Structure 1
Amino acid sequence: RRRVVRRLKEALVKGAILFGVPRAISASLALQDALAPGDRDDSFVREGFHLDGENEQRGHEALHRIYRDEMPLVGERKAQMRDIEWYSYNATYGVFLAPISETSDRAPLSIRETEIVVLACLVALRAPLEVRWHLRGSLRVGMKEEEIEAVQCAVEEVAK
């Protein structure tokens, strides 16, 4: 059960960059309140994690796995949105959405599982452009069309 709790906590941390830190804090507190004491997990996934040059590299690798040659910020858009590009590489993906490690037990969510979190958040936020990007990205990281459709339908049902 603690493994499930650890994965839920990581989904909330990753979701915070998409739906906001206040909501992530509230959801995390509600999760802790709902758990029996023996089911609580006090692991710290980012222990020893530093904000350094590796964030940009990690973000770059994750973004290119998801978008491949369909990066949204290219050409004139890229030149006019350099701050967004920097934030995407260094923070959004470099710190939050890229997996901490593909092999470590401390990394509760893989890039595939992270795409489920991202897609669910974007569908709930009604962000059609980003949903389209991440529908394709979900396929690129190994999700099947049926899985993607199930996530989308479940979120749409809950968000009604």
Structure 2
Amino acid sequence: MSLTEPSAEEALALFQSVEKDFPKDLGDDKWYILAISSISAGGHPDLSANLYQYLISKPEFQTSKSRQALVRRLREALVKLVSVVGVPKPLEAIFSIARVERPEDRDYSFSREQWSSGPANLERGMGWLSQIYRHNHAATENTLACHKDFDWLSREITYGLYLSDHTIIGPVETELVVFSGIAIQNLKTETGWHLRGTRRIGVSHEDVEIIQQQIEKVAAFCGLTLNRIPRVKDIEHEVPWDSGA
């Protein structure tokens, strides 16, 4: 990894490139979810402030209300990112945004104030997990039968608390967070799972490949080499014919 910190100009050029090349048919409000997730997980969470400042320069974010809605989306992406990279990097990212927020733009809502563990949380978590893994989860359950803490963590926390809540960012955006956060760590097995999962929730083969290219672009910017992870063509045979994609 380069010892030279990237400049604000270099960060802006990266974000504009990801925005330009992100799949257009997924909408223009999702590219920055990939950007904040991958730049934070990739070791430059402080550049989340640069991303935020670029976004609020756009015409659609010229009111406090719109900027508050934006920061809720960025914050939710970072909360979800905790589930795959831990707390420190997402926390550093949110601190960087907080330092440049205008006082009138601060959003004091608390998305998980009413959250509790229990049957409803487990049902919601398993519902989303099942959409991503389908029949493949049986093998994971078998492996974790003798590592029950991780099975519990997956059901109740990773999926129950974090990933199954789609009230602020939706299913595709949630997978963008997870796919970005895992792939940029160069993790072979879990990247394959979420290439497959992204296809299973309806993102096309072509768009998944473009998404991965944007993650690789951010990784190169961060000085990271992604040499272990599969591509969508490698897992396509695992996506059922009735995936809807």
The TM-score bracket by the shorter chain reads 0.7 to 0.9
> Which ranges in structure 1 are unaligned for 5 or more consecutive residues?
101-106
Q: 1:131 maps to which residue?
A: 191
Distance in 2 separating the partners of 1:111 and 1:151: 15
Task: Please list, as runs of the form range in 1=range in 2, the aligned pairs for 1:47-86 lying within 5 A after superposition.
Answer: 47-71=113-137, 72-75=139-142, 77-86=143-152
AA aligned to 1:150 is: I
Shift of 1:5: 1.2
Shift of 1:28: 0.7
Distance in 2 separating the partners of 1:74 and 1:16: 23
Shift of 1:51: 2.3
Q: Secondary structure of 2:136's partner?
A: coil
Shift of 1:64: 0.3
Most deviating of 150-159 and 83-92: 150-159
CA RMSD, Structure 1 to Structure 2 (Å): 1.6
Shift of 1:147: 2.8
AA aligned to 1:29 is: F
Task: Please list, as runs of the form range in 1=range in 2, the aligned pairs for 1:1-12 lying within 5 A after superposition.
Answer: 1-12=67-78
AA aligned to 1:84 is: F
Corresponding position: 1:88 with 2:119? no
Distance in 2 separating the partners of 1:74 and 1:95: 19
Distance in 1 separating the partners of 2:193 and 2:157: 19
Q: Structure 1, residues 26-72: CA drift from partner, whole Å, max 9, x if none? A: 11111111223333322211121122232221111111011111114
Corresponding position: 1:117 with 2:183? no
Q: 1:32 maps to which residue?
A: 98
Distance in 1 separating the partners of 2:97 and 2:157: 25
2:132·2:201 contact (CA, 8 Å) conserved in 1?
A: yes
1:73·1:81 contact (CA, 8 Å) conserved in 2?
A: no
1:66·1:141 contact (CA, 8 Å) conserved in 2?
A: yes
| Percent pairwise identity | 37
Corresponding position: 1:155 with 2:215? yes
Give the TM-score normalised by the residue count of structure 1. Answer: 0.87
2:83·2:162 contact (CA, 8 Å) conserved in 1?
A: yes
Query: Bigger radius of gyration, 1 or 2?
Result: 2
Corresponding position: 1:43 with 2:109? yes
Count of paired positions: 153
> Which ranges in structure 2 are unaligned for 5 or more consecutive residues?
1-66, 221-245
